[in-house]
Amino acid sequence: MIEKEAALRGTLSSLGSVVVAYSGGVDSAYLAYIAGQTLGDRALAVTADSASYPERHRRLAIQIAQQFGLRHEIIHTSEVERPEYRANPANRCYYCKHELYTHLARLAADRRAVVVDGSNADDRGDYRPGRQAAREFGVRSPLDEANLGKDEIRELSRRAGLPTWDEPASACLSSRIPYHAEVTDEKLRMIERAEEALRALGFRVCRVRHHDELARIEIGPDEMARALQPEVGAAMVRELKAIGYRWVSLDLQGYRTGSLNEGLRLRPA
C-alpha cells in the first residue's frame, strides 16, 4: 500500500501540474490531499456545485480544503439545464461528466495542467458512462494507475487524518431517480431533504429512491434492524410525508450501489 502511494506521488510529479475533480468524497479528497502535498500550488482542487450536488458534500469539500491547506475553487456547472441530462437516459452520467470536464479542461489549459479524477482500481468493470467523457477529454486517473483500491484509499486516508476515510459511498442526487424519469430541481430538493431527515434520525448509510409520490428507502444492512422498529419506522414515514411523499417504503434488500441499474442490461464503460 505504501509502495502504491509512492507510485501515486510519482505519477503526479510527472504530470507537473494538475486540476483535481474534487467532490469531497473518499477518493477525490485523498487524491487532492496527495496532489497538494506533492505539487503544492501546482495542484488545484475544483468542486463543481450544481443542483444535483448535495449541500452537505459541498460543506465537507470546503472543510477538508481549509483544514489541509488545499488550493481550492468552486465552479458552477449546469448539467441539469441540459435536455439530454434531464431526460435521464441510462448514460446520464456521460452528460454530467461532459459538462464538468468542459469547465475543468478550460481551467487546466490556462494552467498548463492535466485534469485528474478519483477513479480507483475497484471501479474497473463497473458501469460508469462518465468514463467515456473522461477519455474524450484526456482525463487521467492516478489512483487507478497506482492500482489503489477503495479499502487501501480509506486506510491511507485514515493515516493522513482525512475525515473522509470512513465516509459512506456517495453519488449525485440524480442517481436516486429511475432512468427515463425526468430530472427536475423539485425532485432533487425532495430527495436531498428526505436523506437529511433520515440522517437526522441517526441513519448513516441511506438512499431515498424517488418513484414519483413513493419514496423507496435503502438503509445500510447493519442499520436495518433499527429501521424496522415500529417507532423508528413511524418517524421515517412522518418525516418523509412532511416533505411531500404520499407513500414511504423500506427496501428489505437494503442499500446497494446503483440499485437503479438492476433493470438494465449494462456493459462496463
Q: Which CATH architecture is the domain 2-166 placed in?
A: 3-Layer(aba) Sandwich (3.40)
Q: Give the contacts of 9 (CB within 8 A, at least 6 positions apart).
A: 34, 37, 38
Residue range 173-261 forms a domain whose CATH class is alpha beta
The reply to whether 173-261 shares the fold of 2-166 is no
| Residue 245 three-state SS | coil
Per-residue pLDDT averaged across 26-35, rounded?
A: 98
Contact between 260 and 178 (Cβ < 8 Å): yes
Ranking 64-68, 83-87, 264-268 by mean pLDDT, the lowest is 264-268
pLDDT of residue 266: 47
173 vs 4: CA distance, rounded Å: 32
Q: What is the mean pLDDT of residues 47-71?
A: 95
C-alpha cell at 59: 460543506
**Residue ranges of the domains in the chain?**
2-166, 173-261
- Compute the distance between CA of residue 91 and CA of residue 200 in angstroms, rounded to an integer: 32
User: Of 60, 16, 62, 58, nearest to 41 (Cα)?
Assistant: 16
Q: Which residue has the cell 453519488?
A: 171
CB atoms within 10 A of CB 258: 14
The one-letter amino acid code at 104 reads: L
Q: Are 22 and 46 in contact (CB under 8 A)?
A: yes
Rounded CA-CA distance 7/41 in Å is: 20
- Give the torsion sign (CA, 81, 182, 47, 12): negative
Predicted confidence at residue 258, as pLDDT, reads 63
Q: Is the pLDDT of residue 269 over 90?
A: no
State pLDDT tens for residues 195-212: 999 999 999 999 999 999
**CB-based contact 96:85 (threshold 8 Å):** yes
Tens of pLDDT, residues 228-268: 999 999 999 999 999 999 999 999 999 987 656 665 554 44
The total of other beta-carbon atoms located within 10 Å of residue 37's CB is 15
Percentage of the residues of the chain whose pLDDT score is greater than 90: 90
- The 8-class DSSP code of residue 25 comes to S
What is the residue-averaged pLDDT of the chain?
Answer: 94
Residue 213, CA atoms < 13 Å, CB-side half-sphere: 2
